[in-house]
Amino acid sequence: MSGIVGLWYFSSRCNADGVVKGLWDLQSALKHRGPDGGGVWTEGPVGLGHQLLKTTPESCHEQSPQGLPEAHSVITADVRLDNRLDLIRQLGLPDCPSSSRPWTDPDLILKAYERWDTACPQHLLGAYAFLIWDARRQRMFGARDPFGIKPFYYFYSHDLFAVASEIKALLRSPHIPAQLNPLRIADLLTSNLQDPVATSYRDILRLPGAHQLLVSADQGLTIQRYWRLDPSKTLQLPNDQAYADAFQEIFKQAVDCRLRSAYPIGTQLSGGMDSSAVSCMARQRLPSRQPLPTFSARFPRIPNCDEMAYIQAVLDQGGYVPHFVYADRTGPLSHWQELWTHLDEPALGNGYLTWLIHQAAQQQGIRVLLSGYDGDTTVGHGTGYPAELARSGRWKLAIAEMQMLIQRLGHPRPVEMMRQKFFPILATLAQEGRWLSLAKAIAPLSRAVQLPRRRLWIDGFLIPLSQHLRGQIRRRTRPLPRPDRGQAFPFLNPDFLHHPDIVHHFESQPLIADGHETAQSQQLQLLCSGIISLPMELVDLISAPLGIEPRYPFMDQRLVEFCLALPPDQKLRQGWSRYILRQAMDGILPDQVQWRASKTSPAQAFYRGFDQYNAPLVEDLLAHPPPPLLDYINLPQLRQLYADHYRSPDRLNQIWPAITLGLWFRHQESSPYTP
């Protein structure tokens, strides 16, 4: 966890003093990211800056920005490399430089750039955002890690190129407009966050994960992807034990890399499989006498949300020092002013829990905090496997897997869930003219969905087929209608919703694919989603002022590639989702956690905390809304929906983005970065 800034003035109007001043203006907004010192480097119209938080042993020797005089290159980097030894060997470097200090991670990136030029990110593993000034070629080169763990924001115009770890730093420049981006606000209000580039400001963009950029005076700015997941790769091992052993070995590597620290380490322990797997593996991999601090949120006043039984099962293994925050004593908006001192955009999510846990970790002197995010997506639940079996004609196994999955989850309407899962497949088979496959499905499926065969033919085949044919006719005469966002989000201001730019924005967005052919394609879409980096960006902004670096073993590139290549029956088996993780953690996870069928929902704690602690704040907001909010919101409708949430708590989820936007505007009224 560090902070980076970079400037390149293309206009001759800015002299050397102006570059230095501009750089320090940006850097001053990032001091909280680097309590261990900062530095700047300038040369003519170019400048780089860095704020350092020491976490790894090698970072204790960093003096960034730093350069290679023989290569005429300088780097600023927020980086933790996980393949240091491999890089040192590939680059043919001695174990230590002649200065007797170890190779720092920025050193190795510069050496990799010197060796492989702009292909160097393809040789890096870890979490990083870096910017290199190449004086010999008169260009800037930067990259962001594959999953966007480290933040990277930039501004580009004919006069200026600027980069920073946080938006607030870029807003310090008088040359960077602070105009809101109404398209992004529309996405935030409709919970459509697939765009990996846009921010809440028109002229400030994010470099997506797995992308690199190159800037030169003559060629301008170019951005390209340097890595992508390959769905054609499939893994075939002899038996279940071989798969479990292979997973465990890669997971060990993922945890080991993230235990590299010169300072105290802790883990977030929620009681779920992912955080428990990280905590248990970390405890095994640390020296036997080194206890592992854990940090957990408790909800003892709301037993349905409290995971203490699962947390205690992990702690009972020994070797842990537990710490608890009692999140049922606060509400999701109780810390809104503190949070938006650090956050740069209206999205808030469950930031209050992250804030409480990281505060507790800071009080214990923790600098590195391991998290179980996003094991769900990396390992995959395999819930698309029954449909995949059905499409391939293996109906008996498909139905059996689905029935066992429903039983494990304790779904209250199992027959309805079966119909939702399999009826669309019958319609697809009919559309494709696969009559034999369709006929094979009727007998086993009629028993599963409790319908006579004749009724199943009508409900599962004839009606969906006729709807499909009518839809084809309509599409030939007029375009396929898009979802009516006015109905789905009645709290939106109609003038805003129907503005031509907003209408075009929504109509031009690709529809999210549904009905995937395979479980793998379903998982691939989630892994490539623009949403995947957003929670990590939120955590980064919350943890930075507390001097903590979050690390994510499940976001290890090798582990993600391995899991995507797994056969689907390693993700779902006999109704057990995430089957390979359960098998691989045998003897490591407590049985109670290893074989838990589902998660505890925090929704009740969220609703109760809001009503108990935050309702007056929101009622005041709705009574005295900040003027900019009215450009986006239909206030009478928002007030009505808010009143309805007392009868239907899930209304709060629907209007939550509007509430957080209003509070963000209220905070901006007193902020120096007011747009």
Binding site for ATP: residue ranges? 371-372
Token pair for 556: 């290890």
Token pair for 507: 């109509």
Please count the CA atoms within 13 angstroms of the CA of 360 that sit on its side-chain side: 22
Token pair for 413: 């309407």
Strands 153-156 and 66-68: unpaired
Rounded to whole angstroms, how far apart are CA atoms 59 and 75?
Answer: 14
- Going by the annotation, the residues of the binding site are 105, 371-372
Token pair for 303: 């037993």
- Going by the annotation, the residues of the binding site for L-glutamine are 105
The DSSP secondary-structure symbol of 206 reads E
Token pair for 466: 């006729």
- Structure-token match 């919703």, residue found: 497
- Structure-token match 């109670």, residue found: 592
656 Cβ contact list (under 8 Å, min separation 6)? none
666 Cβ contact list (under 8 Å, min separation 6)? 621, 626
Token pair for 333: 């908006």
Strands 139-144 and 211-216: antiparallel
Strands 46-51 and 211-216: unpaired
Task: Give the chain's radius of gyration (CA, Å).
Answer: 26
Q: Provide the terminal-to-terminal Cα distance of the chain, rounded to the nearest Å.
A: 28
Closest Cα partner for 165 from 347, 342, 3, 343? 3
The DSSP-derived string for 312-369 is HHHHTTSSEEEEEEEGGGS-TTTTHHHHHHH--SS--TTHHHHHHHHHHHHHTT--EE
How many C-beta atoms lie closer than 10 Å to residue 388's C-beta? 23
The DSSP secondary-structure symbol of 307 reads -
How many C-beta atoms lie closer than 10 Å to residue 159's C-beta? 12
Closest Cα partner for 295 from 368, 227, 351? 368
Rounded to whole angstroms, how far apart are CA atoms 319 and 100?
Answer: 36
